[in-house]
Amino acid sequence: MDLLGEREWLHMKWFDALNPLSSIFDLMSGARVGRSRRVAYLAAKIGLGVGLGLREARTLYFAGLLHDVGALVSPSGDFKRRDPTFVPVASAQWVRSLDLDPWTEVFVGQSWENWDGSGVPFGLRGREISLGARIVRVAREAAQVMDRAPMDVPLAERLARVRAIGQRAGEVFDPDVVRVFEELLGHPEVVLDAFGPYSPFVLLSKRPAGDAPMSSEDAVKLARMFGRLAGVLRGTPNHAERVAGWAMSLGEEMGLSERDLYSLNIAAYYHDVGWLVGNPGGTFGGDVQEERERLHSYYTQAFLQQIPGLEGPAIWTGQHHERIDGTGYPEGLAGEMLSLPSRILQVAEFLVDQEMALQGKEGAGIKRRLARLLHAEELAGRLDGPVCRAAMKRVSHDPEPASRDQEHFYHLSSEVSEMKKVLFATDGSEASKKAEQMVADILSKWTEAEVTVLYVSQTVPYYYEATPDLLANLSQYEESWAKQIEETVMNTFKDYKDRVRFKHLVGHPATAICDVADEENVDLIVVGTHGRGAIDRVLLGSVSHGVLNRAKHSVLVVR
């Protein structure tokens, strides 16, 4: 199976990959988008001006792009501290993970040193500082001065502030480097490219001379660096690496071609890079953490789409939180609208998240739990069936793929044999009656299973004018309806009545269902879809959808 056309087979160059992604560094450090490109452009120009060759200028360019990659966090997971040495040291550590010219790491690590020895992290002075670092230091200061100037200040005034850095030549900056920089400011094209109103966009096309292609290993290392960067920011440093491992395993099981597997590996490492962007400017309002979760895959796709060769992986990463039944985000895509690699990523991340949640349990218990969770996700229609079965095969080392038919799912293997506590949430609707039959099947096939049947009467929403008479009538109706539901389900489960009990509560249905599931520590929650209670729940949203979003336990939505 080959999903990528020849056009999309990776033919990447360092410039094409790092230039768009440098905007992430700017957003991480609180700078205006385009600052890293400005530093890179100026550093390369100054390097050529002092007589360096094209190779050295290219190294300076990439050092400029990467100079602030450690602005928030180091590879070891240390977050930005008050210690001023943190950023250059952390940035150099990140650069070390890439196969760039070794001098790139040196230039980045020394880019906060000052000519007079007052800088960090080593207090180097004069020509103890590498020439490349002295150049990046001037370029970085020029870009920061321009960033600090209000946008409504005329360009001439902002340039005057930039030129003022020359007053610190011999103290903070190398006088020879400053002299070349001041000469560059005499060239209108350089000024407009670096400081003009459209410079963030203009600099996207200013490719350094002699730009080198990336090897396939380079592309993976860059993706791995960004994956770890996102992981340490979230407190899960190895998340992307583990998702990549599962994605490759499932991709092989699903018969992807070698180049699709390679691209899937790239996508898996990049899939959470949108977390590094967060909530720029608070554009969408609301809770920042919630917005990061809702929009990070959108941002990931937006950045990767700018990189030639990553058109396919960009789409896959943008869909990795969508679900087959349309309950995912950010766009609510469903079914065949989701590509196979994105469906693989969905299952891979689900497995990693569940593995982390099950840490500390016995190995066999983890395998059984993972198989059961995959089983429930497929039955619920949220995750792709064939990919879930491929995952169950890998989890259980079962040489035979699991059956597609629902009635045979309960015979998957001994890995899914322990179903002891089930919560069946019903509202008496037709959808709930279908779920009722599924619960009867569970009781039949799992002889130790116990079922709690729960009906939740919806509390009256605030927008209803609830008079005492209305409340009394509704309460009477709900009691009568609950009694009718109890009689119906107990009749269905009459052969298992010693293992079934009925419970009636009043509250918000989705919240109450999840609370009872937590209290009883159930193995599975079973609900019907499109259920409604006595009060019109169209205004309140689907109960099953609410349970899916809140529940800490496996949920089976029967259609």
Q: Which helix (H) or strand (E) holds 342?
A: helix 340-357
- β partners of residue 527: 425, 557
Residue pointed to by tokens 């007052």: 118
Q: What is the mean pLDDT of residues 444-451?
A: 86
> 463 vs 296, which has greater pLDDT?
296
Of 407, 406, 410, 372, whose CA–CA distance to 392 is shortest? 372
The count of C-alpha atoms lying within 13 angstroms of the C-alpha of 502, restricted to the half-sphere facing its C-beta, is 18
- Rounded to two decimals, the pTM is 0.70
| Domains (range + CATH), the chain | 14-204 (1.10.3210.10), 216-280+288-397 (1.10.3210.10), 421-557 (3.40.50.620)
pLDDT score at 210: 64
Written as six digits, the tokens of 71 are: 């602005």
Output phi, psi for 286, to 5 deg: 80, -175
Q: Which helix (H) or strand (E) holds 500?
A: strand 500-507
Cα–Cα distance for residue pair 229/433, rounded to 1 Å? 48
* 507, 513 contact by CB (below 8 A): no
User: To the nearest whole percent, how much of the chain has pLDDT over 90?
Assistant: 46
Burial of residue 364 (CB within 10 Å: 0-12, 13-18, 19+) is: exposed
Q: Is the pLDDT of residue 329 over 50?
A: yes
Q: Is the pLDDT of residue 403 over 50?
A: no
pLDDT score at 74: 65
> 37 vs 553, which has greater pLDDT?
37
Written as six digits, the tokens of 46 are: 């100054």
Q: Is the pLDDT of residue 415 over 60?
A: no
Written as six digits, the tokens of 461 are: 């929403």
User: To the nearest whole percent, how much of the chain has pLDDT over 70?
Assistant: 81
Which of 206-210, 219-223, 229-233, 493-497 comes out lowest in average pLDDT?
206-210
Residue pointed to by tokens 């001041």: 182
**Mind listing the pLDDT tens digit for each residue in 245-280?**
999 999 999 999 999 999 999 999 999 998 887 544
pLDDT score at 324: 94
pLDDT score at 361: 54
Count, residues in the chain:
559
Q: Is the pLDDT of residue 347 over 70?
A: yes
